Homo-oligomer: A and B are copies of this chain.
Amino acid sequence: MKQQRMTKQKQLVQRIVQSHHDHPTADQIYLEVRAIDNRISRGTVYRNLEQLSDAGIVLQVKVPGPNRFDCRLDYHYHVICNNCGAVFDLPLAYQDELDKKVSKTTGFQIDRHRTIFEGLCPTCKEKQEQETPKD
């Protein structure tokens, strides 16, 4: 792997990602970074996010729509609201044994698995119930 240098852009991107406990998209990070230094480009933010995730400093959460970034490093599961797009961490243990099982039954080398729950968050659920009270 290529030797990496620390730049103020990279520092800033890292600081912003790590300040989040939700799961921002690259573009949200870009906007926040941009609010601090308005000369940083989208390309730089994408490149730095990629480096950070290659380096294992942040993880990517692959959900429908744009990818999101997460500063939690342990494998864990997520839930996404189909209505507002909010993503939350779940307090469920990562099921290590599934990786072994799949590896054994398929012959794949399994690195990990990702589990995404889909549904409606409490807020959107309530809103929807109000719109169609007894339907």
Interface status of A79 (Cβ within 8 A of chain B): yes
Using CB atoms, name the residue of chain B closest to A81. B108
With beta carbons under 8 angstroms apart, the residue of B98, B109, B114, B116 that contacts A92 is B98
Chain B residues within an 8 Å CB radius of A110: 79, 117-119
Any B CB within 8 A of the CB of A16: no
A residues within 8 Å of B by Cβ?
A: 62-64, 77, 79, 81-82, 88, 90-92, 98-99, 101-103, 105-122, 125
Q: Are B101 and A92 in contact (CB under 8 A)?
A: yes
The reply to whether B118 and A113 form a contact with Cβ atoms under 8 Å apart is: yes
Residues from chain B with a CB closer than 8 A to the CB of A116 are: 113-114
